[in-house]
Amino acid sequence: MTSIAFLLIVLVVIIVFMLNSPDFRVARQFRSTALKTLLSRSPDNPEDNPLNLNLIAMGLRKPYETGGSLDNLYHFLSKDPGRRDFPGAGGRRRSAGYLGGATGIRAEQYIADMRASGDPEKLPEWVPEYTGKVRALFDNVRNDLLVITGVPENLTELPRGDSSERSITQDTEAAVEHFAMMWLPRGETKSTYSPDRQKIREFLQGNRRFRKRMEGIDDGWKELAASMYNLSMNPRWLIAVHYFPDLESELDELTKIVLAADIFRRHEDMMKLVAGTDGPGIMWLPEFSYYKNIPELTGQIRSADVEDVTIFFAKVNLGYSFRDGRTQSWLNRRKDWLTDYFNVFFSEKELSDFSSVDDAEWRLALLKGSGLNEINKKIVLTLPFGTKKVYGVRELALVKVNLLTNP
């Protein structure tokens, strides 16, 4: 017994010595730094740390939160269109801030253009100034969202400012890549461990804080789309649209891109930049409910060659946020309309829309976003988004799409 006790004491001493060796102390420091960089709610030097998931989520929310480009537009729309300025001093100070600089210069140019092209006798005096400022503020929204979404320039005709900033999806991939380079599993040191894609994946998927941060990013996408749909219903935005109809089509296109970016990032491997790409990765899929009552569709799609006839056979399901009962009820009441809608939707596509080309994943996401957008525009007419957990449809699941040419 004495010998056994002695051996156990010796073993404990050896383990304690190993765990406190310089190599293990360095390993603990690397592990702690990797976790704090990726997952902390209050990382060190946040302005210099774009690799933190909480800060990435904040960047996604920035346009619609206080002082963001979308929030500034909403604030301006709260003013009586016929008034030159806000009645209160606080409102005047805030509007002077976001209507200054380059935004103010663009607004003045838009105002001058409208005055030069409009009929003074038919155009109310306040319209050029009001519409010009709305257009300039929407430019800021559009530029911010094109950066956030990362849509390839060749896939949209919306004008965009020059920017080298990364999209939210690219930031997330870079954050996971940095984590993989820094993180060490428990019991490993820099000399005994090389990045293992499977171990990294298992650790992240089992980590509660990682799941919470990814849920926060998902919530950001929901709220961003909700803000866009509610803007389309804002009475004072519609006044500007009445006098400058291009605003409506630009908002429509931008909303489709936001929907598409949300779909695109859910099907991207967040570990795509991590070494050892042969191993499994992580695709973050939030919990959805699905409307599956649309019957199988069939019809003919358009073709550039009139001699070619392409028949489609399709089955689609609609994904919406889990427990969004109001969206579910809305869909349940419109089975026939949804069936007719998707028959027309597919018949208006061309064969090239389903071809494998460069940016194929983005093109598919944009196709889905286009399909969902028209449905959400109907839903928001009666159910404002973001309230009572209503967020409309967020995923178009193409359960089956078969194309048969020249049968």
Residue 333: pLDDT band (50, 70, 90) is very high
Query: If we measure between CA atoms, which residue out of 253, 269, 229, 157 comes closest to residue 394?
Result: 229
Average pLDDT over residues 292-309: 80
Average pLDDT over residues 202-206: 94
Q: For residue 227, how many C-alpha atoms fall within 13 Å in the half-sphere facing its CB? A: 25
Residue 46: pLDDT band (50, 70, 90) is low
Residue 16: pLDDT band (50, 70, 90) is very low
Alpha carbon distance 177, 94 (integer Å) = 40
Q: Cβ of 40: how many Cβ atoms within 10 Å?
A: 17
Q: What percent of the chain has pLDDT over 70?
A: 88
Q: Is the pLDDT at 12 greater than 70, yes or no?
A: no
Task: Tally DSSP H helices, then E strands, for the chain.
Answer: 15, 4
Task: Decide which of 229 and 26 is more confident.
Answer: 229
Cα Rg, the chain, nearest whole Å: 27
Helix (H, G, I), strand (E, B) or coil at 199: helix
Average pLDDT over residues 258-263: 97
Average pLDDT over residues 203-209: 95
pLDDT of res. 306: 56
The torsion defined by the Cα of 377, 381, 387 and 391, in degrees rounded to 10, comes to: -20
pLDDT of res. 26: 75
Rounded to two decimals, the pTM is 0.90
Average pLDDT over residues 40-68: 85
Residue 117: pLDDT band (50, 70, 90) is confident
Spatial CB neighbours of 386, under 8 Å, sequence gap ≥ 6: 222, 223, 226, 227, 230
30, 225, 271, 318, 395 from 369: Cα distances, Å: 41, 11, 24, 12, 8
Contacts 24+ apart (CB under 8 A), 92-96: none
Give me the chain's average pLDDT, please. Answer: 89
Task: Decide which of 41 and 248 is more confident.
Answer: 248
What letter does residue 21 receive in the DSSP assignment? S
The torsion defined by the Cα of 239, 244, 246 and 251, in degrees rounded to 10, comes to: -30
pLDDT of res. 17: 47
Residue 403: pLDDT band (50, 70, 90) is confident
pLDDT of res. 353: 74
Q: Is the pLDDT at 195 greater than 90, yes or no?
A: no
Q: What percent of the chain has pLDDT over 90?
A: 67
pLDDT of res. 13: 45
Task: Decide which of 136 and 20 is more confident.
Answer: 136
